[in-house]
Structure 1
């Protein structure tokens, strides 16, 4: 809640004005029963029409002021809730964007999506309701009790006797409800994760005829969410019937006691009517407080989840280290790394690349090829060892500077639902000439210019209206368009035919001679001409050298080469 309050602070003056207006409107509501009681008991018996119209006019003015005050205050409350939630959502999105990959893995993407949507909505609802009812309900409750005490103290004591029971009911239900809402949000995280998996893999699911299986899996997750929502809903819904029971019990006692007092001439009918009106006001105020606590339970659970993200400490802070003078552009020096800190995913990896050299990395699935690229871009920090770029430890280079050095195509990269030109420019304000040059280098220009709208051709989300090879070429064009110092191609040619792959490599070699290139590949033809080739198995280096050296010295590399290229083991 402290984090949410920080985003409310700029709107405190506006909230204060709104609460003052709400206070005035609420006081007008409280005056109405008292004026009615006075008219019935004191004005009507005088049979003076002027006084009746006068006090009737006072009631009309009070009603209008109450109506306008509540409308104005509610609109101001809605505006504050909207703007606060807007800023909170933006801050949360920004924080998520700067979380390290390790932190994203810890929170999980479905959970972050849920916090950015469902949880911020709950905060919006809570802020709005707390402003609309947070001042009105307590004033109506306390004011109603005070007015009943001035009208008929004996009857008011009956009402006051019920209040401790009501307060305990609200407290007990709310205390149990907050943990249940936290579990509900966790269940929603699971459901979002299942939906994301199904949407991402919809083609595979259809191809393997697993729709029924996925329906059953979703049904299980959905049933769990429903069960948690039902439990939390039933728990919080107990407040209304219990409050009504206690208040109606009190109302019965008030009517019985009031009847005896009127019969004994100890009070007047107008006071009883006003008392019953105040009793109804108090009933509604308590029900409003009950609803507030329900919304507060949801909001506080959501606020805690949002605060976990907003207060997450930066784990990729700059580490001041001395620059080392050396001739190498990229250096891995005895690097060890583990994702879960149990078993090493990379073990003692070392290599050195001069500016303009190319490193090819090959190995089986899960051997750590993509992990090397992630460590070089400092998406993760190594457990031990050192990674240098131009003699500077990557941990000492600001993120903004570090990431502008790279052009990268990830193994599972994405394209936005936008034009081809916008996907290649990617917010870098590149000219059309630069975009076309990058597409030519990536061997994408030919197929793009055959499209009716050429570079303004709209892509669907993830580029599903392109073939696999076309998509990879657009992604490579995006990487090349920034004229990177270091180019990382992570399995970026797996969908390309051998001719296109060869043309792409030739274009990179000829036009990016000063760019250090790291090619992660599954096929020998993509890396055999690299200056250095690193062979990985289970995160360990089992071979390092040129193609010819590895064909003589590394059995695994030789087996892969012969199986893919056939013929003589030294064939080109």
Structure 2
């Protein structure tokens, strides 16, 4: 990343973070006023101690009511100061939690709106880390940094004012610490920024590696890759340990030890200066006690501020990562005037698409699909079948050409109109760990009748009613209570529940047995002429009754027609594929 880009990103993350600080200005300044009042009560203690020593103890004069008044005021200042500090801590914590709540919601909402092309390269573990760990680290800038630094800066100002009231020359000696501490903070930031950024990235890599390993555990164990994955994880984990150790080492050298050493020098200077005043006969014991008390309080806020800068650095790095994610452009959600999809007629002309430049996946595809028709797309792996479905779903934008739905450009339809008018049945069913009803409804607030009607269309209603709790049956993670075929029927019911005009099936019967395949075929045959169906098929026997079969090869549409027409082509691609599958099926049956 170039320096100007890194600087712009830092500014962006700071704007993101500080926008929440001033989101409720009245509340923030009330909290700030609370800090000021708490500081006033906090610095009153040494002043009252000075009065008690110089006015009562040194002269040996102990009048009852003045002593009671000073002690009562001292106790009152301690109690009120403690309560006000508690209140300011709670208010900053509340501000922090509200900020994290909103940032996390914004980030997840943005991730849901990102185009599918983003997820082609994104790693799940890293995204989870940004949404959870990084947003949680942002909280530290409010609780650990903003609250601490603000309160300590105000406390330092209060202490300096009290010191100046007692003795201006002694205050100037203590003031020497401030520019030195600022220099230490600058040096610390120069050393730590790279290390902290690297450690945050490595933590995301750890999450990504663990996520990938757990999700692919069956493949890892089947191919005996346990040691390889362990070595990969151990390498990332070791590098994370090294970077964290570097960050801790830099902080240990430049923060508390350095401040403590400087405070000892200042203490020695104050004692020497006070000794000179004793020699001159102008010193007061109470002033020395108050100064030593203030000096102890003066160095501690400095130490706290410097130590919090490590948390500030981590929060800024986390903010950069969150800000970078928020800057990812959202998917195309055009809000044209196309309205709802009424018929489901499709027209594809001169369609050109490539994931990478100069590597076309679809090349000059032209298709006319009638409303209510049953169309199938076949071809070898990599021919562009699933990509065509992705373009129909508006997941990607073609480089040239256009797709019309009911005579209107695809981009003219709103996002909601497309999702309501087009249903998708993927090859791998996605099942929520919730009830059957919720899996079919998918948050669309459908009625019980609509859900049951969709289940009946998918021939799943009887299976559901045979379960103990019917549609309220919890399926568990991944739909473990259903068979593979029943999961596919559930996905079909989910798609049909929204009453789509276009139904896309991406090899929906590739992973089911013959019996379940017949059930799925029967469900789809009942939808013929009611819904426009576009089916990507691997088993060619399942699409024999299609109105039109589109044969793809390396992004080109090379053949189209119904089963009988394509079988009459002597050297046709479809005929060769069909005959090959029939021979393989006969061999399998013979065995």
TM-score normalised over the length of structure 1 = 0.92
Counterparts of 1:86 and 1:382, CA distance in 2: 37
1:26 maps to 39
1:505 maps to 521
**Paired residues for 1:397-408 under 5 Å:** 397-408=413-424
Structure 2 residue 19 is matched with structure 1 residue 6: yes
Structure 2 residue 253 is matched with structure 1 residue 235: no
1:289 maps to 305
Query: Which sits farther off after the overlay, 454-463 or 383-392?
Result: 454-463
2:435 maps to 419
Q: Secondary structure at the match of 2:432?
A: coil
In structure 2, relative to structure 1, the CA distance for the partners of 1:134 and 1:207 (3 Å cut) is same
Is the contact made by 1:409 and 1:492 (CA closer than 8 Å) also made in structure 2?
A: yes
Tell me the CA shift for residue 303 of structure 1.
2.0
**Paired residues for 1:52-451 under 5 Å:** 52-105=67-120, 108-237=123-252, 238-314=254-330, 316=332, 318=334, 329-451=345-467
Tell me the CA shift for residue 185 of structure 1.
2.3
Is the contact made by 2:35 and 2:154 (CA closer than 8 Å) also made in structure 1?
A: no
Is the contact made by 1:329 and 1:353 (CA closer than 8 Å) also made in structure 2?
A: yes
Counterparts of 2:584 and 2:86, CA distance in 1: 84
Tell me the CA shift for residue 546 of structure 1.
2.0
Query: Which sits farther off after the overlay, 451-460 or 55-64?
Result: 451-460
Is the contact made by 2:375 and 2:547 (CA closer than 8 Å) also made in structure 1?
A: yes
Give RMSD over aligned pairs.
2.6
Tell me the CA shift for residue 483 of structure 1.
1.6
Is the contact made by 2:52 and 2:70 (CA closer than 8 Å) also made in structure 1?
A: yes
Is the contact made by 1:119 and 1:306 (CA closer than 8 Å) also made in structure 2?
A: yes
Q: Secondary structure at the match of 1:345?
A: strand
Counterparts of 2:249 and 2:557, CA distance in 1: 59
1:557 maps to 574
Counterparts of 1:9 and 1:163, CA distance in 2: 27
Counterparts of 1:142 and 1:166, CA distance in 2: 15
In structure 2, relative to structure 1, the CA distance for the partners of 1:220 and 1:469 (3 Å cut) is farther
Q: Secondary structure at the match of 1:407?
A: strand
Is the contact made by 2:220 and 2:226 (CA closer than 8 Å) also made in structure 1?
A: yes
Counterparts of 2:270 and 2:479, CA distance in 1: 71
Is the contact made by 2:277 and 2:283 (CA closer than 8 Å) also made in structure 1?
A: yes
Aligned with residue 545 of structure 1, among 561, 575, 582: 561
Q: Secondary structure at the match of 2:404?
A: strand
Q: Secondary structure at the match of 1:489?
A: strand
Is the contact made by 1:114 and 1:192 (CA closer than 8 Å) also made in structure 2?
A: yes
Is the contact made by 1:174 and 1:236 (CA closer than 8 Å) also made in structure 2?
A: no
Q: Secondary structure at the match of 1:386?
A: strand
Is the contact made by 1:336 and 1:346 (CA closer than 8 Å) also made in structure 2?
A: yes
Aligned length: 567
In structure 2, relative to structure 1, the CA distance for the partners of 1:252 and 1:468 (3 Å cut) is farther
For residues 139-193 of structure 1, the C-alpha deviation after alignment (integer angstroms, 9 at most, x for no partner) is 1222222322332333333322232221110122124433433332222222222
Counterparts of 2:355 and 2:584, CA distance in 1: 40
Structure 2 residue 530 is matched with structure 1 residue 517: no
Tell me the CA shift for residue 392 of structure 1.
1.1
1:489 maps to 505
1:42 maps to 55
Counterparts of 1:489 and 1:328, CA distance in 2: 15
Tell me the CA shift for residue 354 of structure 1.
0.4
Unaligned residue ranges in structure 2 (runs of 5+): 1-13, 587-591
